[in-house]
Structure 1
Amino acid sequence: MKSNHNGGGRPLDGRPTKRRLKTKPILILLALLLLGNLLWFIAWVIPNGPTGSGEEVASVEGVSITREDWMVAMEEQYGKATLLELVNAKVMDTAAQEYDIEVTDKEIDLELALIRSAQDGAITNVQSLNQEITRQKLRSQLILDKVLTKDVVIEDEKVQTFYNENQSLYNVPTTFRASLIVLQSESDAQDAVKELDNGSSFDVLARELSVDISSGSLGGDIGFISEGQENIDPAVVTAASKLEVNQWSDAVSLANGRYGVVFVQDIAKAQTFSYENIKDHIKRELALEQLPQSVSPEAFWREFNTKWFYGE
């Protein structure tokens, strides 16, 4: 719900405003993570195939598409962005050593929990993320944030006030990393369940059978879902809450008249972050709000004598 604000940063009725800090844009972060996944995919593909560049990887009406064609196309479309990610990760690792900055697993876990709880319809479909790559990207972002804010002074009183006024943001509900196959009828959903029981892959079935194109194209992946999430059918969350990891549901009646089969990939238990847990995060984000403009890792290239293939 949007509120009108006066110049003091509170609604006109005087009650505290619950707001999220202007953290690094989650959409951008997740888009970069997807590029990281692409890098992982390329690294996985290249070593496992024959070294000959003329190897056929596909054909259409007898016309071959070779491994070289494939690799060249991927490099042209994604090569620069992927290399940029590699370079910036290395730059941030160097910055951490130079400025004596440490990022702990606990800090990364906190960022992951907050990202999951912040999900909405704009980002739930950006989900096919390798966890190791996700954590590395978050680590690099945290290093950058800490470098940028190391000299910014934020009073403890301001941090405490923000926490008091926005405490509900840090009560993170149980979330389920879920996949969904959407079918037109109950009998179609029951048939899908039978195929799963007989050993079929949920990912493959979702791509083949789901009438929901957006999730079906991702193998049914709908991201982390939780109770009360406006863009998710409550029946899907209810079904997920009754499952263990790597289990799928029976046919589930959906609000739009269709039926679904729900699969749980992972479960993140509910967490409540106390002031002591979250104060460093809040202080850092309030400090980022004080910066006149956003800064990317490229700003440190000259400092660390960075050169790369594209020569810019």
Structure 2
Amino acid sequence: MSRKLLWGIITVLLITNIATLLFMSQNDDVIVSEDGEEKAIRSNEPVATIDGEDVTYADWMTVLRENHGEKALQSLIDRHLVSKLAEEKNIEISEKVIERELAYLTSMQGPLEEEELARAEEKWREEVIYRYQLEFLLTEDVPIPEAEVEEYYNVYKNQYDFSPAMQLSHILVSDMETAERIYGELEQGANFEQLARENSIDDETKNSGGYLGFINTSSQFFPDGYEEIANEIGEHSYSTPFAAGNGVAIIYLHQALPEIEFSYEEIKPYVENELALHEKNISLQATPLWEEHEIDWLYGN
């Protein structure tokens, strides 16, 4: 994923969240999406109180509309227009490309529960599809010579692949007896992060609940023996105690991200788009598409 595309996705996600606040209402119940969670409130009730003084729902909506209304509405129009044109032109984004982008976005996150991850991936998928559809629409009339595409691919082809990685936490102790005690507490429902903070002898990770982060399986920093154990357990689960290089460990596998590799033919259309955007200095904005269509909206024509 190019840095330009990545920041584009993040920006659209922020605007989409604002749009959700502005427009997702139904009668007196308003659904507010915050960090993937939904909360019902009533428009005739205060949204906050300060020393007994109410901040009304109407006040809140007014501020949102005045500060974010135009951008939020523009974003909604952009998305509808891009989706409509992509359908008309039969623009389909490769599922393999989508999975790669989801893997990149996932690898930028801290630990997420299964439900949190599912909600996040649903949003990310929508944004990845939108951004790639927009790329195709903006660059469809910009020819790139085959030789140039091949040359660029041969130099940068590794950047289009995704290396397998695991998101891990661990509890490292000095002996098996301590590890067995901790394992027993886990089996009784104790929290892995809390036990790591209380018991781990790894000073670099104990204060963060034993979190090691995402580690490429080919990395020299991947702890010896951890990959083999992680391959034997499922995601969002912990291992039995095992001897590690400098003690006895229990690991928690948050997620395992698979290797994703592309042939030249699979990735060629996306390389062409990337080169066209760069050579013509095209911004990833849907505004140029408006000129070809009749769009009448609240803020102008």
- Pairwise TM-score range, normalised by the shorter structure: 0.5 to 0.7
Q: 1:182 Cα shift?
A: 8.7
Instruction: Kindly provide the CA deviation profile for residues 143-175 of structure 1, in whole angstroms up to 9, marking residues without a partner as x.
Output: 110011111112222222223333333443223
1:90 partner amino acid = H
Larger RCO: 1 or 2 (CA < 8 Å, sep 6+):
1
State the SS of the aligned residue for 1:45. Answer: strand
- What are structure 1's unaligned runs of at least 5 residues? 1-20
1:118-167 C-alpha deviation (Å, 9 max, x unpaired): 998xx555987621211111111111100111111122222222233333
TM-score w.r.t. length of structure 1: 0.59
SS of the equivalent of 2:253 reads strand
Aligned length: 273
Task: Map 1:237-256 to 2 at 5 A.
Answer: 238=227, 240-241=230-231, 243-249=233-239
In the alignment, what sits opposite 1:275?
A: 264
What's the CA shift for 1:307? Answer: 2.0
Contact 2:91–2:136 under 8 Å retained in 1: no
1:228–1:234 Cα contact (<8 Å) kept:
no
Partners of 1:89 and 1:140 within 8 A in 2: yes
2:280 counterpart of 1:288: no
The structure in which a higher percent of residues are strand is 2
Instruction: Please state how far the C-alpha of 1:103 moved relative to its aligned partner.
Output: 1.7
Does the C-alpha gap of structure 1 residues 164 and 221 become closer, same or farther in structure 2, counting only changes over 3 Å?
A: same
Matching residue of 2:10: 30
For 2:33, give the aligned amino acid: F
Question: Are the equivalent residues in 2 in contact too, given 1:53–1:68 (CA < 8 A)?
Answer: yes
3-state SS, counterpart of residue 287 of structure 1: helix
3-state DSSP of counterpart to 2:256: strand
1:157 matched residue in structure 2: 147
What is the percentage of aligned positions where both structures have the same residue?
19
Following superposition, the deviation at residue 297 of structure 1 comes to 1.8
Change (3 A) 1:51 1:117: closer
Choose from 9, 19, 33 the match for 1:41: 33
Q: Tell me the CA shift for residue 72 of structure 1.
A: 5.0
* Paired residues for 1:1-312 under 5 Å: 24-33=4-13, 36=16, 39=20, 41=33, 45-46=38-39, 49=40, 51=42, 53-54=44-45, 68=57, 72=61, 75=64, 80=69, 83-97=73-87, 100-104=89-93, 107-113=94-100, 116=103, 123-124=108-109, 130-176=120-166, 178=167, 180=169, 196-199=186-189, 222=213, 225-228=215-218, 234=223, 238=227, 240-241=230-231, 243-249=233-239, 263-304=252-293, 305-308=295-298
Normalization by structure 2: what TM-score? 0.61
Aligned partner of 1:110: which letter?
Answer: V
CA displacement 1:60-84 (0-9 Å, x = unmatched): 9x85988949965994799546555
Contact 1:174 1:267 in 2 (8 A): yes
Name the CA distance, whole Å, in 1 between partners of 2:58 and 2:181: 40
Cα RMSD of the aligned pairs, angstroms, is 5.4
Unaligned stretches of 5+ residues in structure 2? 21-31, 199-203
